[in-house]
A = this chain, B = another copy of it.
Amino acid sequence: MLIAGIDAGGSKTECIIVDTEKDKIITRAQTGAANYQVVGLEAACREIKLALEQAKKRAGISCLKAVGIGLAGAGRREDLVKIEREMGKIMNSRNFFFSSDAHIALLGATGGSTGAVLIAGTGSIAYGLKKNGAKIRSGGWGPIIGDEGSGFWIGLEAAKKAVRAEEMRAEKTELKNLVLEHFNFSKLEELIPFIYQQQLPRQKIAALAPAVFDLAQNGDEAALEICQEAAAELALLAHSALLKLDYQEDKIAAAGGLIKSSYFYQLLKEKLRENYELEIYKAKKSAAYGAVFMALRELEN
């Protein structure tokens, strides 16, 4: 069977077409951002449709068995219904299946089975499925109330600690230079218009995280504190999600940009093991592949 999986995310939309018998990706395509809370419903649908058409064209395929789509910013049922209706208008097929980005990330990360996933990217969330299919989550409260341990959180902590050191409210740290260089600022005060401009620059702040990891490895105390605290927060998030499952699970999949740092992944692994006797493993497949698993399941039901 040929099934398309689409990961419609906050920074890009990725579409893959999978030959499910061979468990093989036939083709890939990528288009723009599709978090509909940010870009709007119409633009999100347009990007999704475009990604799908590009992938089909590249593979020379006109007919698909099904399409699975995971949507960033569509955590609530009302959101999914709304986008499903809108997509129905522009697509002439009934085999479209929608879910949240966390859901396809879980299916991708676990290779299509149940369990739980910790997603540590620009934001942070832990997500899992109960036996009866009910969804559970911890975190995912966004940059103001939540996102503890995420890339955004790490970047913001770096900025905060730089400010505090500058005002003699904390020990000196290299974080100031890191922030100035990263954003090409001449003084920390430039953070103010940058942060309070119309839209909070989440991704730009999250992009500080790898440099904070480097600084921590080079022995900067303040940077190390941030990394340790981020790992502890993510471990706590993972643990709390696993507590909500109705089965015993002693491991959790990890996905998201922060996991790409082997330094940070190691820190996280240690925190989980020491504090909660939990193991972690890297996502087996991508979220787009998870969307394929999701469509496959729906067809089977």
Binding site for B on A (CB under 8 A): 138-139, 141-142, 144-146, 156, 159-160, 163, 167-169, 191-192, 195-196, 200, 236-237, 240, 243-244
Contacts and interface: CB of A to CB of B under 8 A. Distances in A.
B243 A195 contact: no
Nearest to A37: B196
Given A169-B240, A237-B169, A192 B160 contact: no
B236 A145 contact: no
Contacts of A159: 145
Contacts of A237: 169
A156 B145 contact: yes
B156 A191 contact: no
Per DSSP, chain A at the interface is helix
A60 to B, nearest CB: 43
A196 B144 contact: yes
15 contacts: A138-B169, A139-B167, A141-B163, A142-B195, A144-B195, A144-B196, A144-B200, A145-B156, A145-B159, A145-B163, A145-B195, A146-B163, A167-B240, A168-B243, A169-B236
Contacts of A156: 144-145
A142 B243 contact: no
A182 to B, nearest CB: 15
A192 B141 contact: yes
Nearest to A144: B195
A75 to B, nearest CB: 9
A160 B138 contact: no
Nearest to A200: B144
